Structure 1
Amino acid sequence: MNAGNQRFEKIRHSLPDGIVASSDSHVLRAYSQDLWPRKMIEIREQGPDPEPAMDLVLWPENAAQISDVARWAVRMDCALYPYGAGSGVCGATTADAGEPRPRVVVDLKRMNCVRSIDRKSMTAWVEAGIIGENLERHLNQEGLTLGHFPSSLYCSSLGGWLATRSAGQLSTKYGKIEDMVLSLECVFADGTVAETARAPRSAMGADWTQLLLGTEGTLCFFSAACVLVHPLPEKRVGLSFETPDIRTAMEFARMALQAGLRPAALRIYDPLETSLTLSRAVLKESGFGGGAAIVAQFEGGAAVTDAGAGELLRMAPLAGARRIGDQLAQHWWEHRYDISYKQQLIMSHGRMILDTFEVAATWDKLQAVYEAVKNVNIGFGIVLAHLSHFYHAGANIYFSIVAHAGLTPDVPARYDSIWSDVMRAAEGAGATLSHHHGVGRLRREWIMRERADWMKIFLKVKNGFDPENHLNPGKMGG
């Protein structure tokens, strides 16, 4: 879409009153991508696109304005792209090159208020555009926490978490974002504003909150949410362990989870990731002797925290895990967000390929998934792995790919080839192909493979909610 054509000017000047908007080329270019590594590789290798992919950016300030925008988009036949903070890594906010309609970004960051806190029910009513760090700081001032700490905490929004079914670093205790939401305020394609049931549980038909979460802006906008909050922890205890191999570490985690333990954080690093990403000085100080490294953290009331940590210490030797110095756990806690800001150093080098992908599997398949992906030949590169989210029935594995494109002239094509190989390996071993990053454009093909029959049903639902496909077209199979 050429921003100077007559159709664009028509939509620009027909906007509802009071909507802040921009068609500045620098703004449009900034909103034409998120942090999807493939797009970043394209820009690095080939230069920026000749024209921005987006035509207009809007900043509504409340649900009523989103409703006005939705009705306007139907009237003017525009495609709307909900936008939180742009930290997604799957291209979920980006437009397909073939989208013929005007492409309009709807950025919710002006909707950034904590509307109210109910201390008796321990809930907070929060607008979807708030950045994670700001939400947590606001709650901390009230002696509270949400307990949701993704690595992108400083550059992601509540709305983005809801749209992608986000997971945070302390999820084994506090749950994932879907476990923290009591109700949603939504704006639909026809402009309808509605809130799902605000109750601890309801059997009045389907659970619309859970049905809408994770749909990546294809069914509605999330304008606000009622979320569960908790008192700030009275005490934290960090523990560190080593096991001779990843299999033993997985078994230790399985025993702990199925015994009912819920550490706030539990992280297992395979031997390669341990040796390359954890501080060698801290490993030495902790007395680490080799193999897989494990970090566990308990937090909450003092008595409960001590009891949980004590039980994990009791179980460790039974599972073949050896306790080492807790300097490793302390170092992880103090530097737990650092890795998100180191990736750009690698990506700044020409022809380098870096990406992460997170899968999940039941305990009976987890080792096979790990081995299948680790055995993929990615050429000049390595595959690292750690586990960071655990359940009664299984866990996730977070893989990191660091590779050089070698002599291949087309670096994005080499990225596609590596991505396809590792995804096929995980799929073949029985994993679900996204644990918390979502689908976007990156996994569009793969969700149709993994859930082919269910995606046919989803597309019928999409047609009912948004029959003209105005909301984030090209995503979730739509």
Structure 2
Amino acid sequence: MSGHILQNIEIKSVVPKKRQDLIKWHGWGYRDSEFRLRDRKMFFTSPRYLVSANATLDSFKKYIDSLFDVEMQHVLDLPFTEIRLKPVEYAKPTLVDDFIIGLDNLKIDYSLDGEDRLVRSHGQTINEIYDLRYGNFKRIPDLVLWPTSNDEVIKIVKLAHDNNVVLIVFGGGTSVSGAIQCPQDERRSIAILDTSQMNKLLWLNKENLTACFESGVVGQDLERVLNEHNYTLGHEPDSIEFSTLGGWVATRASGMKKNLYGNIEDIVLNVKVVTCTGVYDQKYSGAHKNVGPSLDNMIFGSEGTLGVITEVEVKIRPFPKVRRYGSIVFPNFSHGIQYLREIAKRRCQPASIRLIDNDQFQFGQALKTDEGALANFTNELKKFLLTRVKGYDWNEIAIATILFEGNQEDVDRQEKLIYSIAKQFYGISGGAKNGEKGYVLTYVIAYIRDFGLGAGLVAESFETSVPWTKCELLCDNVKLTIREECRKYKVKYFYTSTRVTQTYDAGACVYIYFGFQFSAPGYKIDNPIEIYHKIEEAARDIILASGGSISHHHGVGKLRKKWYKQSVSPVGINLYKAIKQELDPKNIFACDNFLMPEDKIDFVELTSKL
């Protein structure tokens, strides 16, 4: 095959088949990485993410203590924070004999082990993790399957269709929309189709700069094998350590370096999808094409409801010769948004640029470890120059963190332009070190959420996309709504902040971070997850009223399907239902995403007509 320099390359995954050996069963990330308290000292247990292992985080502990007006060690001593142990007994699986016999005949690897089933029963929403920790998880899958190729998936899907067994596709388990959680009222046998053993690089074409991977390849593994041959995909979501290529397609994902490499739909050339009625596979991939209505769009964002994505052909790029971080300090969030708008208008965005408000800036500052007397003196000097010399208010400033990638000449030119435009909005350089720490901090935030849950704090993030003209107003409206809702539900201490993470010609992606204290000495909210979702729902309503979308890239799943109809219109609902009925007439891919009860397809009636 002319131009193909690699074919059928096995990729050793960082995530083992027994994923619970490496990854937490009831939280985010690696088992060796978490925030802890010991002897009233707070520290992070792993050297990952530029956070020194076991270095004390006194400033962060003080920040949390003051924010929620509670001494955290006392909170951790309370009995309600006890996390239940991993179960030793699991619900007996519901099995279909003919399906099991068929798997055995096909020599498909599967497991009935309760622990294997449990760790693939959920994603990473706060309610899923809370239920796992405190024993409220009711329905877990009945078995786990590990196909190793597209051909095996075809056989599994046919077998499931013939025996009316539900298939839920599981990639990295990083979903934050409830999309992969088992429907709690599903009575049929549920099989998890784990794609982790489908992770080969099938081929790479150096002339066309294209490659084809199996869908189960984990993001960091995909990047590693490309980097070894001096290429990159450039798609870098916050979940890249654990999420998979197939999951990116299924959720229409976005990455931190979208400006340079594009979102996943800009990177993917072709997808192969196994459905109950056949295999969807386009035969052309290259330049722009016109073959009628784009059927690819029914796959991007389909969230496991239509079939199994098995192979993905993508565009790749030469590995950048230069990778350089930077940061810019603005007197306030408003000036920062104006700056992002200007560089988007001029289409000169670096690979990544993200703006955090003052609340998140203070949060990040508190996470710094003790860097020694000289470094601490330097930090204080910088603060003095900002506040006393430049006249910036420390409680108002906002920070943009930047990543440049490319050739030396291009990066030098872009860096010069980016910083010169910043001056128009009173932005000044904050240094490369702050830019790198801000970039990597993204990976740490989820660990903080899990630590907080054990300390009586419930917290989560959610995102939206919004036109430029409504960006700042939306951020203000959401914060105001959260304050009002907290007062309504008698939430005494809470935290909220905003971040602009992606910029486009016409708008931006905004993240909202929200958390509150649900228990402390003399203070307790009995139903924190229910209260959290009521407040988030109010925030989501105001997001839509302020011109935002229900999601920029996390997807709809079960959490946001309440707003799906108003987002796509009744005609859009009917189009989705028509596609679903054509590709999955028995509802084998019964994730229960997108459709509210009043809009669901009557599959019983449909099946009786088959």
Residue equivalent to 1:329: 435
Say which SS state the counterpart of residue 125 (structure 1) adopts: strand
1:395 matched to 2:508: yes
Alpha carbons of 1:297 and 1:68: their partners in 2 closer, same or farther (altered >3 Å)?
A: same
Distance across 2 between alignment mates of 1:267 and 1:389: 7
Q: 1:84-95 maps to which residues of 2 (within 5 A)?
A: 84-95=171-182
How many residues are treated as equivalent by the alignment?
474
Residue equivalent to 1:36: 125
Q: What is the aligned-residue identity percentage?
A: 24
The question of whether the paired residues in 1 share the 8 Å contact of 2:323 and 2:403 is answered with yes
Say which SS state the counterpart of residue 555 (structure 2) adopts: coil
Distance across 1 between alignment mates of 2:473 and 2:439: 30
Alpha carbons of 1:283 and 1:345: their partners in 2 closer, same or farther (altered >3 Å)?
A: farther
Distance across 2 between alignment mates of 1:91 and 1:164: 12
Distance across 1 between alignment mates of 2:185 and 2:533: 20
Q: 1:186 aligns with which of 273, 293, 297?
A: 273
1:80 matched to 2:167: yes
* Equivalent residue letter for 2:546: A
Say which SS state the counterpart of residue 44 (structure 1) adopts: helix
* Equivalent residue letter for 1:199: G
Distance across 2 between alignment mates of 1:284 and 1:227: 47
The question of whether the paired residues in 2 share the 8 Å contact of 1:285 and 1:327 is answered with no
Q: 1:466 aligns with which of 576, 579, 584?
A: 584
Q: 1:452 aligns with which of 569, 574, 582?
A: 569
* Equivalent residue letter for 1:451: V
Q: 2:424 aligns with which of 286, 308, 318?
A: 318
Cα deviation, 1:256-277, whole Å, max 9, x if unaligned, reads 1111202011010101110112
Say which SS state the counterpart of residue 582 (structure 2) adopts: helix
Residue equivalent to 1:8: 96
Q: 1:35-434 maps to which residues of 2 (within 5 A)?
A: 35-45=124-134, 47-49=135-137, 52-192=139-279, 194-195=281-282, 197-278=284-365, 279=367, 284=380, 287=383, 289=387, 290=394, 291-333=397-439, 335-350=441-456, 352-375=457-480, 376-377=482-483, 378=486, 379=491, 380-405=493-518, 407-434=524-551
Measured after TM superposition, the shift of residue 10 of structure 1 is: 4.1
Q: Identify the range of structure 1 (183-192 vs 100-109) with the bigger mean alpha-carbon deviation.
A: 183-192
Q: Which has the larger radius of gyration?
A: 2
The question of whether the paired residues in 2 share the 8 Å contact of 1:185 and 1:196 is answered with no
Residue equivalent to 1:443: 560
Measured after TM superposition, the shift of residue 164 of structure 1 is: 0.5
* Equivalent residue letter for 2:587: N
* Equivalent residue letter for 1:8: V
The question of whether the paired residues in 2 share the 8 Å contact of 1:242 and 1:294 is answered with yes
TM-score, structure 2 as length reference: 0.74
Distance across 1 between alignment mates of 2:349 and 2:206: 24
Measured after TM superposition, the shift of residue 231 of structure 1 is: 1.0
Say which SS state the counterpart of residue 434 (structure 1) adopts: coil
Indicate the RMSD between aligned Cα atoms, in angstroms. Answer: 2.1
1:19 matched to 2:108: yes
Measured after TM superposition, the shift of residue 335 of structure 1 is: 4.8
TM-score, structure 1 as length reference: 0.94
Alpha carbons of 1:274 and 1:341: their partners in 2 closer, same or farther (altered >3 Å)?
A: same
Measured after TM superposition, the shift of residue 176 of structure 1 is: 1.0
Distance across 1 between alignment mates of 2:163 and 2:553: 34
Cα deviation, 1:171-222, whole Å, max 9, x if unaligned, reads 1211111111011111112343534632322111122223311111112211
Alpha carbons of 1:334 and 1:414: their partners in 2 closer, same or farther (altered >3 Å)?
A: closer
Measured after TM superposition, the shift of residue 3 of structure 1 is: 3.8
Cα deviation, 1:364-405, whole Å, max 9, x if unaligned, reads 111111111111223331111111111111111111111123
Say which SS state the counterpart of residue 39 (structure 1) adopts: helix
Cα deviation, 1:324-371, whole Å, max 9, x if unaligned, reads 333311323455523333332112224x21111011101011111111
* Equivalent residue letter for 1:36: T
Distance across 1 between alignment mates of 2:440 and 2:125: 27
Alpha carbons of 1:186 and 1:4: their partners in 2 closer, same or farther (altered >3 Å)?
A: closer
Say which SS state the counterpart of residue 455 (structure 1) adopts: helix
The question of whether the paired residues in 1 share the 8 Å contact of 2:125 and 2:176 is answered with yes
What residue ranges of structure 2 are gaps of 5+ in the alignment?
1-89, 369-375, 388-393, 601-610
What residue ranges of structure 1 are gaps of 5+ in the alignment?
none
